[in-house]
Amino acid sequence: MSEYLPGLAGVPATQSNISEIDGDNGLLSYRGYAIEELAANSSFEETTLLLLDGCLPKPAELDEFKQQLVDNRRLKFTTRGMMKNLPPNGHPMDMLQTVVASLGMYNPNIDCLIGGSACNDINYIHNTTVKIMARVSSIVAMWQHIRNGYDPVGPRDDLSYAENFLYMFTGKEPDPMLARIMDVCLILHAEHTINASTFATLVNASTLASPFSVIAAAIGALSGPLHGGANQRVLEMLQEIGHVDKVEEYIDTKLANKEVIWGMGHREYKTKDPRATILQGLVNQFIEDRGGNVNPMFELAKVVEEVCEDRLGSKGVYANVDFYSGILYAEMGIPADQFTTIFAISRTVGWLAHWREQLADNRIFRPTQVYTGVDRRPYVPMEQR
């Protein structure tokens, strides 16, 4: 009988050269490059090409890729019309999964995926990746206006990926510092080895399903509060605490009741999440840039982290990437229920990189189970029951 490990904890499900985590030392790298170096020196577009192609692009390659993203930002009016008929009070992640799945109906050419063999059409893979990457951010930004009864703001060709998203989302010229923070946030969330949503990507990709269905499945996995929904819960937790004077009592009560403290701890890291360290640095830069004139949530978050580190640090529980990202998004004018959709925008890059890697050496996933039911027994006719 096979050994049963709940949640497949620690069970290798695939081989990959896309990203690596050293949880004991708090290290994360994309294609061998430390996340700290990428956050400090790269852009989301450049990091995207790194994850997809395996190497840092040359200037001309990056310029061409940026232009391809710009050329594919617009959505068909039929897609906008469908969005206008979705329930405005529905969760944005449900909207995103629905609309991304529907894009496959406008892009039905999946001939290279038919036949059960690996797909070697790199042009199809690249062009499909560009379409999904370019449009997923437009979908999220447009929904913010559509669900409030307004026409969406169209994209601008002169803005970067992060800048254009903020412009389409808010309808305002993006603040340069906040745009840079958004760019870094997208880099930090782009990839993180084989998590729940990436595993959903692999399973669906292994069946040679449409890439739009593959990404829709990953979005569904990401939507859960135990995965991508945590940053929304962090902001709600901070709002519930309300003031720095109430932090210790709140945390101690949660710990005594064995309740979740959102944004704290990570299954992979035994020390502080390196992405949280980077985001904390951005928070400090932002506070300094604004002369301390910022949302009180920033100071509240710092106190919560200090108290949690005092109570939980000895157990290897520290702040994760979700702890600070939601506060930063709120400062950009993004409502809490849209936080996870931004996570999805970024993680789409990692999903597509794994989709491409799976296709290159594909074998359909078919795990087994440990049966715990009754032994075989005869059928009992209705009149004898």
pLDDT at 106: 86
pLDDT at residue 112, rounded to an integer: 64
pLDDT computed for residue 1 by the predictor: 44
* Residue among 42, 344, 40, 382 nearest 201 (CA): 344
| Whole-structure pTM value | 0.91
Q: Comparing C-alpha atoms, which of 346, 361, 108 is closest to residue 210?
A: 108
Q: What is the CATH number of the domain that holds 304?
A: 1.10.230.10
Residues 154 and 242 both lie in one domain: no
Q: What's the pLDDT score for residue 322? A: 84
The answer on 103 and 80 residing in a single domain is yes
With tokens 């859960």, the residue in question is 224
CA-CA distance, 147 to 90, in Å (whole number)? 9
Query: CA Rg, the chain, in Å?
Result: 22
Tell me how many domains the chain contains. Answer: 2
127 and 257 co-located in one domain: no
Residues 210 and 282 in one domain: no
Residues 6+ apart with CB under 8 A from 59: none
Alpha carbon separation from 217 to 108, 140, 212 (Å, rounded): 17, 17, 9
171 and 54 within one domain: yes
Residue 96 lies in a domain: yes
d(CA 124, CA 119): 9
Supply the pLDDT for residue 190: 97
pLDDT for the residue 111: 64
Residue 72, domain member (yes or no) = yes
Spatial neighbors of 128 by CB under 8 A, at least 6 apart, are 107, 211
Phi, psi of 336 (to 5 degrees): -60, -35
In angstroms, rounded to a whole number, what is the distance separating the alpha carbons of residues 35 and 22? 12
Instruction: Give domain status of residue 149, yes or no.
Output: yes
Whether residues 295 and 237 share a domain: the answer is yes
Predicted confidence at residue 237, as pLDDT, reads 93
The domain that contains 172 carries what CATH number? Answer: 1.10.580.10
Q: Which residues are catalytic?
A: 266, 322
Give the integer Cα–Cα distance in Å for 181 and 98: 28
Together in a domain, 105 and 180: yes
DSSP H or E run through 29: strand 27-30
Please provide the DSSP assignment of 155-181 as one string: P-TTS-HHHHHHHHHHSSPPPHHHHHH
In a domain, 299, yes or no: yes
For 47-100, what is each residue's pLDDT tens digit?
Answer: 999 999 999 999 999 999 999 999 999 999 999 999 999 999 999 999 999 999
Distance between CA atoms of 304 and 240, rounded to whole angstroms? 12
In this structure, are 50 and 192 located in the same domain?
A: yes
Beta partners for residue 264, in sequence order: 319
What is the side-by-side strand order in the sheet with 19-22?
19-22, 27-30, 33-34
Low-confidence stretches of the chain (pLDDT < 70) are 1-2, 109-112, 114-120
pLDDT, position 114: 65
Structural domain contains residue 184: yes
Token pair 């998004």 in the structure block, residue: 329
CA distance 145 to 165: 13
Task: Please indicate, yes or no, whether residues 351 and 323 belong to a single structural domain of this protein.
Answer: no
| Helical H segments across 117-264, by residue range | 122-146, 161-170, 176-189, 196-206, 211-222, 230-241, 247-256
Instruction: Quickly tell me which residue has 């996340």 as its tokens.
Output: 35
pLDDT the model gives residue 206: 92
Beta bridge partners of 34: 29
Same domain, residue pair 259 and 164: no
* Residue 61 domain-assigned (yes or no): yes
374 occurs within a structural domain:
no
Write down the pLDDT at residue 9: 80
Containing structural domain, residue 296: 230-331
Q: Are residues 80 and 208 in the same domain?
A: yes
Q: Largest Cα–Cα distance in the chain?
A: 81
Same domain, 55 and 109: yes
**Residue 366 domain-assigned?**
no
